[in-house]
Amino acid sequence: MSLSDLHDELQCLTNMEAPTGFEEPVLRYVQNALAGVCERVEVDVRGNVYGYQPGSDPNAPRVMITAHADEIGFLVTCLLPGGFLRFTKLGGPTDMVLPGQRVRVLGSTGPLEGVIGVKPGHILSPEAARQVPAVRDMYIDIGADSPEQATAWGVEAGTPVVFVGELTATRNTHRMFGKSVDNRAGVAAVLWAARRLSQQVLPAARAFVIVVEEEVGLRGAEVATKHVQPDVVLAIDTVPSGGTPDLRADDLPWDIGLGPLLKVRESKGLSTHGPLRRLIRSVAEKNKIPLQLIVDTAGITDATSAQQAGGQVAAAVLGLARRYSHSAVEMFDLTDLQAIIDLTCLTTAAITSKSQLMRI
């Protein structure tokens, strides 16, 4: 795997428009990709995609490697006079970045370019210019001149909307930004891990699972875990990063470019399984992969619902640090993602016995 190949696939994935509940473009892509490297691929009614690789030892743990397909976005709620669109949030886009933001409305007749309107600065008082309107007062302008024209273009209540933000490399070429890095980066990692592990004979059976509806309550992972019934879940996701001037050094004390993140605890969710966490650390140390330990991030991940849904599941999160989370310009370091893929494959190879997972 070269960084160039990884970049190309991630660019393809982030270009897809697949907000929560409308993940089909990503699901179709991963279904085809997993079919080439897995013994069996299936899809459930919720949309979760499963690719299975057998293990050599039927008594070894079953490992589920997972990431979520969906991105944050919006839903049209109604059409206004003049052809403007009211909307609500889908997942958690950051309110402060919305006014003036370019968006794409996924109308039934094809995508429509639009912008979230903003009052002219010339008529705003200094105080008003510093305030962010409530989302219920915002609107999307797609260039229509009437509700009837917007309707003819395929827009109605429930039409999904996404950010516009193509994957863009900086002068530091392995650092880049764009929309839906959360969590198309995780999807790319799962696919690359599946390709690499398909070439190895390992004790543990593997299930590579791309799930839906993470951004609205970790829903797909719960369904998927009950279906697979794994012993181990490795969830690959992105994590809000520190390292910028607007954060204290101890707000989010990890940064992009310093290696994968290993969660010790999520503030409202997962407490990473201790023996699994220690195994991951030992694998990283042995292979000289840098790790950043993190505690109490603002968000929670699919590992939380997976660990509870499965009952007897050891779960951990391997995280990709990203700046400017839940915006159209999430920045990350591609070498971190490459290291996550390496660590995922090496850890999976090191899981040989259920006794490794026992706490006492």
Catalytic positions, please?
Answer: 214
The CA-atom distances, in angstroms, between 36 and each of 15, 52, 288, 289, 357 are: 22, 11, 31, 29, 31
Q: How far is CA 154 from the centre of its chain?
A: 28
Residue pair 315/235 in contact by the 8 Å Cβ criterion: yes
Query: What gap in Å lies between CA 332 and CA 258, rounded to an integer?
Result: 11
Q: 338: closest CA among 159, 216, 214, 189?
A: 189
Whether the CA torsion 26, 27, 31, 37 is positive or negative: it is positive
User: Could you tell me where the beta strands, DSSP code E, fall in 213-300?
Assistant: 232-240, 261-266, 292-297
Phi and psi, residue 282, nearest 5°:
-65, -40
What does the block give as tokens for 141? 């302008």
Q: What is the dihedral of CA 86, 162, 24, 345, to 10 degrees?
A: -140
The Cβ of residue 61 has, within 10 Å, a number of other Cβ atoms equal to 24
